[in-house]
Structure 1
């Protein structure tokens, strides 16, 4: 182990080499995958890269394997004086000698700003280090929580030298809050590996799916994902012949309630829990459903269209601009519309084939990981020259 992998020891860039520090809070999916992709691309372009985040994120996403240094910082999901003070102290150490700091998400952005604002207390840290913040999610809390989040959101929007939004509505929101510079920064989904099973074998691996249409949903079992709406819609599908099987892959805080509903109402729903075989699940699916309250650029939408699996999704956030005409969109909160859209698509094989073709074509218009890294490199160069 070299000295750059030791907690609290900052890496020393070669002369002329930019040191970028990426900051991430706890992530179970898209944000962590994006930061890993970004770290790998930046290292490949010759940057010195440090990734700061909870220790569990390195175990899950393998930041250290990209050639970046990983500096553990326990950024908790909610604010707490002791936890935040400890995180800010660790971030100060990690930021020593940094040419640019790039935080992902509201909590990471807020704590990064606080660490940079106290830069004068740490020898070697540059007070003028630019701060880039990528916002990946809209704030969906209620009551007092929502008011506190809005205050944090406003502070981060105004503190960042540049705010990137993963979807256009996030960019518009940042500008409303007073961001000096807010731009669209699409997050590319890393390509999935090829499925190891063909369609017949993939369907045989799902209990009860071999002779039924399979409707697939993938995501964290949390309120934002609207899986309760999907369960409502599944009741409308129960009368079809053959009866579709709704398959949900994921875990999260809503898991227990969803399982109780499936059992009590005898819904045609199979809850798989956490899965790592998404390519095989897509191979088994007749269509994919997204029932979310809000999304920016959902990974499962990108994966479905690339794989040629028809998509039904709620018309929220960045979904319409992501999928264009290559998916069936319905209003959020309308279980009947969702059920009708799924039933109609299952009954229309030519439409499914057309959407599969349009989906693959739409996917070719998205920026890939190479383009995403190139955009970020250009932004870093611009900000470093400006500072």
Structure 2
């Protein structure tokens, strides 16, 4: 009886060599994009025979089910992280803060460290953020120099890692899984109260760098449209009370939805997606909007222009009138919206697939472990 053929995408282990062991480290406060990326990596690596341990906050395991992806889960407590790293061939941290924790856990051990820089905030600007900015730069410099390889999600992050002293910094765009189909868009719009009016959506935690105060300024300008578009914001965070107060006091056509697990389905029902952030890299909202064919208005910051190409309308950060004008102009011009949808889908087709991303990461691991055997 002949045996079943082995899939070419799952390479066999070299004869006599034990399976590669890797630890994926996620820090507290990791964004949805980083967590989804680690879940995707864990799935792809485990399918290729790699033994994967994910060290992350317990709540991240509850939401992303790393064990269901084929990984072993360990909480991100210091002792658990050190124990997991003790048996690893490669440790891969996601984000600068996670990189610092991993570097400390590996102190005194000859285990290569890979750090992916996804979307950690750049050094704070302005006098009030001067001390925080200095600390951020020190942290980035320490992590960049501790890593055997830094993988930047965008070209500007690669440049920043090199500036901070990285020995080896490479571009590694992050692919995230496509969202599963959800509820029928008409039902979603009815639930949100957007029947007979345009629906505009933003997704992300309610924190300062997301730029939601500027977005509310823009919403104040477009509330005079007929019919006025409804802006819904899916996310939770420390600015909720302040944003809620403004919405009530200024009579803004805005709803705060809180944290939602169906954000991808909300997006698919929207007429426009908006990304007003002060900084971003490969924003999850932008990726999903271009994939599903929802026109996007975003700020031209970080890795956003490189990622979206001509598939979105870009405006300067902090410019509420420009944001309002871009949204109003698109709502009034279905032809332009259709052009953006086509350009966005074409741009999304150029992004690496999940398999591409796993293959690139695995090639880095193989390179580092081969180097260590010499």
Partner of 1:30: 33
Partner of 2:70: 67
Q: Does the 8 A contact of 2:123 with 2:132 survive in 1?
A: no
1:162-177 pair list within 5 angstroms: 162-177=149-164
Aligned partner of residue 117 in structure 1, secondary structure: coil
Matches of 2:74 and 2:267 in 1, distance apart? 35
Matches of 1:34 and 1:72 in 2, distance apart? 18
Give the superposition deviation at 1:32. 1.0
Residues 194-249 of structure 1 show CA distances to partners (whole Å, capped at 9, x for unaligned) of: 1321x322211212x10111111111111111011100000110111111111111
Partner of 1:155: 142
Matched, 1:242 2:227: yes
1:26-105 pair list within 5 angstroms: 26=28, 27-74=30-77, 87=78, 89-105=79-95
Residue among 362, 373, 376 paired with 2:347:
362
Partner of 1:17: 19
Residues 279-331 of structure 1 show CA distances to partners (whole Å, capped at 9, x for unaligned) of: 33123211101000011101111111111110000000010011100110000
Give the superposition deviation at 1:49. 0.8
Q: Does the 8 A contact of 1:24 with 1:52 survive in 2?
A: yes
Give the superposition deviation at 1:97. 2.3
Partner of 1:178: 165
Instruction: Count residues in correspondence.
Output: 351
1:258-269 pair list within 5 angstroms: 258-269=243-254
Partner of 1:133: 115
Matches of 2:239 and 2:162 in 1, distance apart? 33
CA gap of 1:315–1:102, structure 2 versus 1, over 3 A, is same
Q: Does the 8 A contact of 2:46 with 2:52 survive in 1?
A: yes
Matches of 1:133 and 1:19 in 2, distance apart? 16
Matches of 2:164 and 2:189 in 1, distance apart? 48
Matches of 1:278 and 1:287 in 2, distance apart? 14
Residues 89-133 of structure 1 show CA distances to partners (whole Å, capped at 9, x for unaligned) of: 332211122110101111211121122123xxxxxxxx2211100
Q: Does the 8 A contact of 2:123 with 2:136 survive in 1?
A: no
Aligned partner of residue 106 in structure 2, secondary structure: helix
Aligned partner of residue 205 in structure 1, secondary structure: helix
Partner of 1:315: 300
Matches of 1:240 and 1:227 in 2, distance apart? 20
Q: Does the 8 A contact of 1:202 with 1:283 survive in 2?
A: no
Partner of 1:7: none
Give the superposition deviation at 1:278. 2.3
Q: Does the 8 A contact of 1:214 with 1:245 survive in 2?
A: yes
Q: Does the 8 A contact of 2:89 with 2:369 survive in 1?
A: yes
Q: Does the 8 A contact of 1:23 with 1:52 survive in 2?
A: yes
Aligned partner of residue 318 in structure 2, secondary structure: coil
Matches of 1:380 and 1:155 in 2, distance apart? 21
Aligned partner of residue 316 in structure 1, secondary structure: coil
TM-score by length of 2: 0.91
Matched, 1:205 2:191: yes
Alignment root-mean-square deviation, CA: 1.3
Matches of 2:41 and 2:269 in 1, distance apart? 31
Matches of 2:150 and 2:326 in 1, distance apart? 36
CA gap of 1:54–1:200, structure 2 versus 1, over 3 A, is closer
Partner of 2:270: 285
TM-score by length of 1: 0.88
Deviates more, 1:282-291 or 1:320-329: 282-291
Matches of 1:324 and 1:227 in 2, distance apart? 23
